């Protein structure tokens, strides 16, 4: 389950209400529509989103499908959210670009100073547009600026 998609699915008020209802009892589309006072078509569309992210599953019972919340997936989502609160804070003045070498400053092949620094307002625009003082406040020296390519050593 991709976390951002699951959170997007739950961000809709109707889908959130559906999950709350389904945590108390399993319901068919008609019963959910009745409880939420929305159309069965709308409920079906909301359930489709919730099924796609794995939060809801359906079980065929005779003519109707009854839906339940996959509580394991919901607990996994809650745990992932809880783990976000355990991330250590970024050390003062340390740019995340320096922490993760896989992160690139390239955005659509144009070099931009897009660092996630403590003070991103200090760096604006392209690296060549950053003043030496802005670069120094963020990275210490111009040599350490992650957006400026290192010059190849002469042989």
User: Is the same domain home to 77 and 107?
Assistant: no
How do residues 59-115 score in pLDDT, each as one tens digit?
998 899 999 999 999 999 999 989 888 877 655 445 555 555 554 444 443 334 444
pLDDT, tens digit, 9 for 90 and up, residues 13-44: 999 999 999 999 999 999 999 999 999 999 99
The residue range of the domain holding 127 is 96-144
Same domain, 68 and 105: no
Non-local CB neighbours of 107 within 8 Å, separated by 6+ positions: 114
**pTM strictly above 0.85:** no
Q: What is the count of structural domains for the chain? A: 2
| Domain-located, residue 20 | yes
């Amino acid at each position: 389950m991709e976390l951002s998609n699951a959170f997007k699915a739950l961000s809709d008020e109707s889908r959130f209400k559906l999950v709350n209802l389904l945590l108390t009892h399993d319901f068919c589309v008609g019963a959910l529509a009745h409880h939420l006072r929305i159309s069965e078509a709308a409920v079906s569309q909301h359930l489709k989103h919730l099924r796609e992210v794995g939060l809801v599953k359906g079980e065929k019972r005779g003519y109707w499908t009854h839906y339940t919340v996959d509580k394991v997936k919901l607990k996994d989502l809650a745990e992932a959210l809880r783990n976000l609160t355990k991330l250590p804070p970024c050390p003062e003045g340390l740019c995340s670009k320096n922490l993760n070498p896989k992160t690139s400053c390239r955005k659509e092949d144009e070099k931009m100073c897009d660092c996630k620094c403590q003070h991103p307002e200090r760096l604006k625009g392209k690296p060549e547009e950053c003043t030496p003082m802005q670069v120094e406040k963020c990275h210490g020296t111009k040599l350490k600026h992650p957006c400026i390519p290192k010059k190849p050593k002469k042989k």
